């Protein structure tokens, strides 16, 4: 499913939303808003800024290169962030 989603995101359409029009919408642009037709079928999803950022982070975290770098770091002699916090008296 992720590869299909990624391809869809690559082909996304960007539409400029005028601030005046945004204030007239009958819903908030925060979070996720599903637009449905008269049959209840989904026609669109509107994702607020924070939802887009979370989605981008999730996509990055499943990237094999990212996961490999995390694994490599865990196997190295580096000190974890938690250990640094404990040593500094922050945890």
Q: What element of type H or E holds 3?
A: helix 2-10
Bridge partners, 34 (sequence order): 45
Q: Are 35 and 47 a contacting pair, CB within 8 Å? A: no
53-65 pLDDT, tens digit each:
888 888 877 878 8
Distance of alpha carbon 17 from its chain centroid, rounded? 21
Who wins on pLDDT, 45 or 6? 45
Q: In this prediction, what percent of the chain has a pLDDT beyond 70?
A: 88
**CB of 47 closer than 8 Å to CB of 32:** yes
Distance of CA 19 to the CA centre of its chain: 23
| Domain chopping of the chain, boundaries | 2-63
Assessment of whether the complete model's pTM goes beyond 0.75: no
- The phi and psi torsions of 6 (rounded to 5 degrees) equal -60, -40
């Amino acid at each position: 499913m992720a590869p299909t989603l990624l391809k869809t995101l690559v082909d996304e359409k960007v539409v400029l939303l005028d601030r005046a029009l945004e204030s007239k919408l009958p819903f908030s642009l925060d979070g996720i808003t599903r637009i449905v037709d008269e049959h209840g079928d989904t026609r669109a999803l509107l994702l607020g800024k924070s939802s887009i950022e979370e989605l981008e982070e999730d996509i990055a975290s499943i990237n094999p290169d990212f996961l490999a770098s995390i694994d490599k770091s865990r196997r190295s002699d580096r000190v974890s962030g938690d250990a640094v916090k404990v040593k500094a008296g922050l945890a």
